[in-house]
Structure 1
Amino acid sequence: MAAPLEERFRLVRDLLPEYRVETTRGRLLVNESGTWQHNTLLFRIWCRLIGTVVERGWEIWPNITVYLGKQADRYVPDLAVVPGTPRMHLDHAVQGDSTLLLVDVVSAGSSYDDYHVKPGGYAPAGVPLYLVVDPFRNAVKLFSEPGPREYGRETVAAGCEPLFLPAPWGTSLEPGEWW
């Protein structure tokens, strides 16, 4: 008899710590680290966020599992911004409602999950802001105002359009500088 998904998730995560291990709609996903282009884009985003993060005593964490509830999926965003003392589920999993911003950069195989699946898991878990950065479209999409099933607001900025991050950020991003 096969082990429950949560048990398989923990086993694979422990066996392959250098990989990003997620569960999505009953699937166990093991992803390699990003390409140099993916990592360069993450570095540019990190550089834009770091001033506000440091000023407010927050932290940026790459490769942390987001705990969305007992029977929910387990996602690992490219970047998670958390308060100085976030609520943790386990050492490797931060509570979704204890994050300030989650960021995913779309890769060739992640588009559907990033745009359609993950927002449906993050919103009910209380993740306040989820930013999808899409280098294939030179666009970003911000999901905000989490509700019991989905986000109440989706904001898209394409090309050089600025994107406003609402409270607790109260600042604008210039995604055009990232491309």
Structure 2
Amino acid sequence: MVRPLEERFRTVRDLLPDYRVETTQGRIVVNETGSWQHNTILSQLLFQIAGPVAGRGWEIWPNITVYLGQYADRYVPDLAVVPRSPRMWEEYAVHGDSTLLVVDVVTVGSTYDDYFVKPCGYAPGGVPLYLVIDPFQHRVRLYSEPGGGGYAKQTDVAEGEPLALPEPWGMSIDTANLLSAV
């Protein structure tokens, strides 16, 4: 008897607690923790958003699963920003519509999933903003205005151009600082 994907996902997640385990299009994907370049990009982003996040009483969560629906994929972004006391599905999974921003830094093996698969899962799950930082293409992409068919808006900026985050953020990300250190 083949076990349902959700059961296999939980088993792998429990067996490999030091890895990021997610399901993507019926696959269980095990990702190692990030390289120094990956972590430097995330650090630079954190320096920029920490003040506004703290000022609004929000929280920054690394390594949290985003619950997108009973039969939907389970993604583990590099960072998720959530309001205080977000709606949880399990202790390790926040509901997508209870996030404020989800962030992934592209790695060699994640390009297709980050640009094409995950936006199609995050949008119907209610994730309002999905930020993809791509050190290989030297660009940043923001998906916004989610709906059942995907995101209605996609904003691409090259390294060095500011990226405006819509309300409730009301701020811009300095992309030069994100990518210049790697």
Considering only aligned residues, what root-mean-square deviation do their CA atoms show, in Å? 0.6
Q: In 2, distance between residues paired with 1:20 and 1:53?
A: 24
**Kindly, what percent of the aligned residue pairs are identical?**
65
Q: In 2, distance between residues paired with 1:49 and 1:72?
A: 29
Question: Residues 62-117 of structure 1: CA distance to partner in whole angstroms, max 9, x if unpaired?
Answer: 00000000000000000000001100000000000000000000000000000000
Deviation at 1:47, TM superposition (A): 1.0
TM-score, reference length from structure 1: 0.99
Q: In 2, distance between residues paired with 1:132 and 1:138?
A: 11
Aligned equivalent of 1:95:
95
- Would you identify which runs of 4 or more consecutive aligned residues in structure 1 move more than 6 Å? none
Deviation at 1:55, TM superposition (A): 0.3
SS in structure 2 of the partner of residue 69 of structure 1: coil
Aligned equivalent of 1:85:
85
Aligned equivalent of 1:138:
138
- Mapping 1:116-127, distance limit 5 Å: 116-127=116-127
Aligned equivalent of 2:12:
12
TM-score, reference length from structure 2: 0.97
Q: Which runs of 5+ in 2 are unaligned?
A: none
The answer to which structure, 1 or 2, has the higher relative contact order (CA under 8 A, 6+ apart) is 2
Q: In 2, distance between residues paired with 1:171 and 1:144?
A: 15
SS in structure 2 of the partner of residue 47 of structure 1: helix
Aligned equivalent of 1:160:
160
Q: In 1, distance between residues paired with 2:159 and 2:20?
A: 29
